[in-house]
Structure 1
Amino acid sequence: MEACKPVVNTGLRGVTIASTKISDVKGAEGKLVYRGYRVKELAGKISFEEVAYLLLFERLPNQEELSGFKRQIADQRAVPDEILSAMKAMPKNALPMDVLQAAVPMMANYDPDLRRTDIDSATRMAVRLIARFATVVAAWDRIRNGKDPIAPDPGLNQAANFLYMLNGEVPDDELAGFMDTGLVLHAEHSFNASTFAAREVASTKAHLYAAVAAAVGSLSGPLHGGANTRVMQMLLEIGEVDKVDDYVANILDTGGVIMGLGHAVYQVDDPRARILEPMSLSLGKRSGDTRWYDLSKALEVKGKAAFKKKKGKDIFVNVDFYSASLYYYMGIAVDLFSPIFAISRIAGWSAHVIEEQFGGAAAKPTLYRPESDYVGDYCGPDECAFVPMDQR
């Protein structure tokens, strides 16, 4: 009998599967680039709407173009009443990511461009999705808490409008600005799991909504999305800075993971984390309680040192580490952290779907169809002989 073949489980790590003009992640250098622009040069200087325009149209807008784009988004934020009614009928303990994913194909049914297959129609669909993701997430948080959804305010930008729809109060400039920067930082990150899911579905020529629904489903998995939720749960579990040493020691002794430390791509600190960190500190000071920032900082410093001592190598902070306390200081429910990721990443997902289907030199000629190595040697080197039921 032949020996079984070795199992191949690369998870596509290190495998280049397509070309893209949208973004680049240089892990060794700690660089994230959106269409040629380093993200650290954009964060805090331009709005999420500008980033969405850049990702969709390959360049930054001028003032007239930006104003028009903002109007398009504002005009499309309202979700059909039928979808809100369907959400009200859902169990109040439904997971926010599942509700968001369920809403995507429902929104497809109301899109006048759904059956069109040109790039302009796809772009209009992308604008509707970008506009409505925040509305769906905010509406669900209110519905599950026994409150009526708040209609979007066309006078507010995407970040401020989301916070307004959550709690009914127009945020001040600092709060809205921090949320806006958070959306900018999460808008795109090359071929991560959810983006690949979207592109794989798009490669079949399925419409944008089908591809985006797949992306949301991928993001709902704990190995991709939800890390900042688990970071905040970890901070709440520790509770006090003087308990950090014992927590770190116990995690490393038991082979556990310090959430928010380590990344699949970066070999240095995630550049986005260094932008989010001072924002968390600022909101901590503003609230009169810097505990969650202080805990995060202590965990970063002591976790890195302990990991280096025990493992003999460095570990680095990722984007989720400080976004957790930042959103918590904003009063946002912990289980909304992944949906907020989606509210931002819908811009990147849409750009990738459009590139996959219409991207010229960057578009692939056919659908994704990888090979696999069959290792099911159930009957040795020969195929199994069928045995009828009465002889088994």
Structure 2
Amino acid sequence: MIDPAVVRADTPGASAKVFLDSAGSSLPPRPVLDEVVGHLRREAEIGGYVAARERADDLEAGYGVFASLMGAHPDEVAFTDSATRSWLAAFDAVPLGPGDRVLVTEVEYGGNAIPILHRAREVGFEVVTVPSDAVGQVDVEALRELLDERVKLVSLVHAPTNGGLVNPAREVASAAHEVGALVLLDACQSLGQLPVRADELGVDIISATGRKWLRGPRGTGVLVVRRSAADRLRPRLVDLHSGEWVGPDEVELREDARVYELWETSVADRLGLIAAARYALDLGIDAIAAEVRSRAERLRAGLREVPGVEVRDIGARLSGIVTFTVEGRDPVAVRDELARHDVVATTSHLTSTRIDMTRRGVEGVVRMSPHYFVSPEQVDRAVEVVAALG
């Protein structure tokens, strides 16, 4: 059970406004803020290298913290500067060539689709879209019909940016592994609001960010590469942290997931990311998921009662992302009007999830994402402001 008084006291911004943008960049709790600011001050006192050496044990412990959070071994965890960097590093390491296939779903994110299509054009593999089922999630039976020895990778967005859906990752992984395909799970919008465990979902690779539901600093990301998949990958974006220059013309790369890390990083931000993961573990991921689900369900129910508002969420299992449109109103104008009433929301547009939005005939949506630090009364206040727009 999460104590609302404690988490709100840890989150000063939670009282100043109705904050409904944890799917964009959430409000970090005090322990995260203290770690980041405190380490920056220490760097100013003694220099960055010395300050990092002082925290070497804490930085090393971070791999175990995320292993606990994400159902992995510490040597399967790597830290990066964003979910995008994590995803790109992993995708770039998958050997692909002419005759191969990469499967994507209809809710594929634009930040993934662009590098997939760009690389397909360069090296000649085929990109195939798996249809959605009647409720909008990936159709696992249709996926099975597309799977054969040509499929090398299934790119799966766990919780898309634009519609509340949670895709059935375990079922996708089970099907893909029958033909030896790898599964790269984009958990950018699920880590921190839902259980995201490699050992339970069965996926091969997970990429995620720190700044969203996990409530860490911007400029942080995490990558999990399971031991069973590591030997099948060919990391290319490497430096003197990822490997060692052992002879004039010879290098040896690391054998663990840290081969995907680079030498330069923000130590302060990484310490903040580790603090955010500890904070989530202390609260309990199941407890967080229950609170987020409660807030999102309350918000959806309230919005459905407002004339002219259409909730746009899809899927059998819903995340904490709530999307809607207001009849006759541009989503950006709605977002801006909400902001004038101290309700922080955002928008999602066609270019982020082009296949899904085109299929559903939607150009853009307003997106709200209530975290556990948002009170039920604040959820109701947001609904009141939307209702007043009409």
Q: TM-score range by the shorter chain?
A: under 0.3
More helix by share: 1
Give the TM-score normalised by structure 2: 0.24
Give the TM-score normalised by structure 1: 0.24
More strand by share: 2
